[in-house]
Amino acid sequence: MNERLKKLAEQAQVEHCVSHVRLQEFADLIIKDVIDEIANAQTQHCAFTTYDLGITSCTEAKITNHLLRTFNLKQQFGVF
Protein backbone atom coordinates (compact mmCIF):
# COMPACT_ATOMS: atom_id res chain seq x y z
CA MET A 1 0.00 0.00 0.00
CA ASN A 2 1.16 3.54 -0.73
CA GLU A 3 2.92 4.98 2.35
CA ARG A 4 0.76 8.10 2.47
CA LEU A 5 -2.43 6.03 2.30
CA LYS A 6 -1.06 3.69 4.96
CA LYS A 7 -0.46 6.63 7.31
CA LEU A 8 -3.97 7.93 6.69
CA ALA A 9 -5.42 4.47 7.40
CA GLU A 10 -3.46 4.35 10.66
CA GLN A 11 -4.73 7.81 11.58
CA ALA A 12 -8.29 6.71 10.92
CA GLN A 13 -7.57 3.48 12.82
CA VAL A 14 -8.85 1.31 9.97
CA GLU A 15 -5.60 -0.28 8.79
CA HIS A 16 -6.50 -3.64 10.35
CA CYS A 17 -10.26 -3.55 9.77
CA VAL A 18 -10.11 -4.70 6.15
CA SER A 19 -7.55 -6.32 3.93
CA HIS A 20 -4.82 -4.06 2.57
CA VAL A 21 -5.97 -4.83 -0.97
CA ARG A 22 -9.53 -3.66 -0.26
CA LEU A 23 -8.30 -0.67 1.71
CA GLN A 24 -6.01 0.30 -1.18
CA GLU A 25 -8.87 -0.04 -3.68
CA PHE A 26 -11.11 2.09 -1.46
CA ALA A 27 -8.45 4.77 -1.06
CA ASP A 28 -7.71 4.76 -4.81
CA LEU A 29 -11.39 5.24 -5.58
CA ILE A 30 -11.60 8.18 -3.16
CA ILE A 31 -8.65 9.88 -4.86
CA LYS A 32 -10.14 9.15 -8.30
CA ASP A 33 -13.44 10.67 -7.17
CA VAL A 34 -11.65 13.80 -5.92
CA ILE A 35 -9.85 14.12 -9.27
CA ASP A 36 -13.16 13.72 -11.13
CA GLU A 37 -14.75 16.42 -8.96
CA ILE A 38 -11.86 18.80 -9.70
CA ALA A 39 -12.23 18.12 -13.43
CA ASN A 40 -15.99 18.72 -13.31
CA ALA A 41 -15.87 21.82 -11.09
CA GLN A 42 -17.85 24.79 -12.36
CA THR A 43 -15.23 27.39 -13.20
CA GLN A 44 -17.25 29.76 -15.39
CA HIS A 45 -17.25 32.38 -12.62
CA CYS A 46 -13.47 32.06 -12.22
CA ALA A 47 -12.51 32.66 -15.83
CA PHE A 48 -13.45 35.95 -17.49
CA THR A 49 -10.86 35.89 -20.26
CA THR A 50 -9.00 33.30 -22.30
CA TYR A 51 -5.98 34.00 -20.09
CA ASP A 52 -8.03 33.27 -16.95
CA LEU A 53 -9.26 30.03 -18.52
CA GLY A 54 -5.66 29.02 -19.22
CA ILE A 55 -4.66 29.71 -15.60
CA THR A 56 -7.68 27.76 -14.33
CA SER A 57 -6.88 24.79 -16.60
CA CYS A 58 -3.22 24.86 -15.62
CA THR A 59 -4.12 24.90 -11.91
CA GLU A 60 -6.50 21.97 -12.38
CA ALA A 61 -3.81 19.96 -14.19
CA LYS A 62 -1.18 20.73 -11.54
CA ILE A 63 -3.49 19.68 -8.68
CA THR A 64 -4.55 16.52 -10.50
CA ASN A 65 -0.97 15.53 -11.34
CA HIS A 66 0.13 16.25 -7.76
CA LEU A 67 -2.59 13.93 -6.41
CA LEU A 68 -1.65 11.21 -8.91
CA ARG A 69 2.05 11.47 -7.97
CA THR A 70 1.45 11.72 -4.22
CA PHE A 71 -0.75 8.64 -4.14
CA ASN A 72 1.15 6.80 -6.90
CA LEU A 73 -1.88 6.41 -9.14
CA LYS A 74 -0.57 7.49 -12.58
CA GLN A 75 -0.43 3.96 -13.93
CA GLN A 76 -3.91 3.07 -12.73
CA PHE A 77 -5.78 6.22 -13.80
CA GLY A 78 -3.46 7.65 -16.44
CA VAL A 79 -1.88 11.06 -16.69
CA PHE A 80 -4.36 13.91 -17.00
User: Above 90 in pLDDT, residue 11?
Assistant: no
Average the pLDDT over 5-27 and give the result.
77
The total number of structural domains in the chain stands at 1
Label each residue of 3-63 as H, E or C.
HHHHHHHHHCCCCCCCCHHHHHHHHHHHHHHHHHHHHCCCCCCCCCCHHHHHHHHHHHHHH
Tell me which residue range forms the domain holding 72.
3-77
Average pLDDT over residues 46-68: 89
Q: Please compute the mean of the pLDDT values over residues 11-20 and round it to a whole number.
A: 74
pLDDT at 58: 92
pLDDT for 68 beyond 60: yes
80 pLDDT band, cuts 50/70/90, is very low
